[in-house]
Structure 1
Amino acid sequence: MTSEGTKARHSEVVDLFSIPMLVTPPFHPPVAELAYLQGLPTVPNRGGGRVSEDTEILRSPALARTAGFVDDQLEIFAREVAGLSADTRLVVTQSWLNLAGPGARHHTHRHPNSIVSGVLYLQGDPAPTRIFREAGASMFGAMEPRLEVINRFNRGVVDVENAASRLILFPSNLLHEVAEYPGTATRMTIAFNTFFVGRLGRNRKLTALDVHAGAA
């Protein structure tokens, strides 16, 4: 109850430092591009899946529409999410096809030598990509209290559902994994890494660096 003439006040919880993940509208590759992907030679991967021998598949003219979509979304991330200057871009470095059958999984890992990583889900039954909060990065530091309610402030893991035809972009330093695949249809994804191209830093701060496409 509030006294006369006094308005009730409610506390506000504010995010101090947020970690972004971009989730795109559905993208449906042309039939010819899907057929090209399905015909790529693959080799066994850690966890029981398979990965394409070619680790630069988005450079192929046969995947021009898919590569164009990825580039467009990276531009959105660079400008609207990361706020990069106009003379700095995010470009795809390596890109590869992942295939997972029943029981396959992808170990917990992060992507070194990359700024933003992406996964384009093409087909398969639900099998979320699990993204972890860094150890010690929670509000409790190294402490592990018992929690009554899990919310966005205290959770240590986020499961991102792999809706078909959807692309996600996230910082490459985040630990992530794909749990054991429970589906029957082969799970097919394109994964890729990126790096800066353009001008980084500032001359007066002695941090200037020019990164060219050939270097990335």
Structure 2
Amino acid sequence: MTKTLLITGASSGIGAATARAAAEAGWNVALLARSQDKLDALVEEIGEGAMAIACDVTDRDAVMGAVSQAVERFGGLDAVFANAGKGVDTPGVEDGDPAEWHDMIHLNVMAVLYTAHAALPELRKRKGHFVVTGSKAGRDHLKGSIYGATKWFVHGFAGNLAEEMREWGGRCTVISPGMVDTPFFDEAKPGKLQAEDVAAAVVFALSQRKTSCVREIHLMPND
């Protein structure tokens, strides 16, 4: 039976690279993002084992509906990669923009929670795997970084969720990259980690034997 992976933030960068890598490894992929056009192009590239679901993952009802669509199409859910996230244009606390914080926290924190809440009943049926994108910024203290604080939440949540899922044979992994050359940054970072590096880490975590749970993969660029 072909396994199914649901990916949020799938239209570009790490999410799109993971969709390609997982499909190559034999997975069906359900791709979530707000951009229908980009998702459709990625589905056309990957082929029959992919489906596009336009979804704002900060909308809990939309996430619930997307999980239902994926299950209806592929018959179940074996893994989720909660990858959607964003930073802010104005760093720091004193000079920061609370409106930016609001939007970032809803995507980096609440969307992860909504995705886990919606997916866990399906993952439990197959002793599945929840993977989430953390960051080096979620392991280090960075001056005034609200973005970093959201990733500290992700790292803490992933560890706690791993313990919850362990009770029924499930697994949770946080992928923790340093700087990655993705559209997250305004300028290209060709010497840093590539989206494909992170995608390979996700597929590695998913490919482990059932007796092993890789709780965290921390990647840093060689440059």
TM-score of the superposed pair, with normalisation by structure 1: 0.25
Higher RCO (CA-CA < 8 Å; seq separation 6+) = 1
Bigger helix share:
2
**Bigger Cα Rg:** 1
Bigger strand share:
1
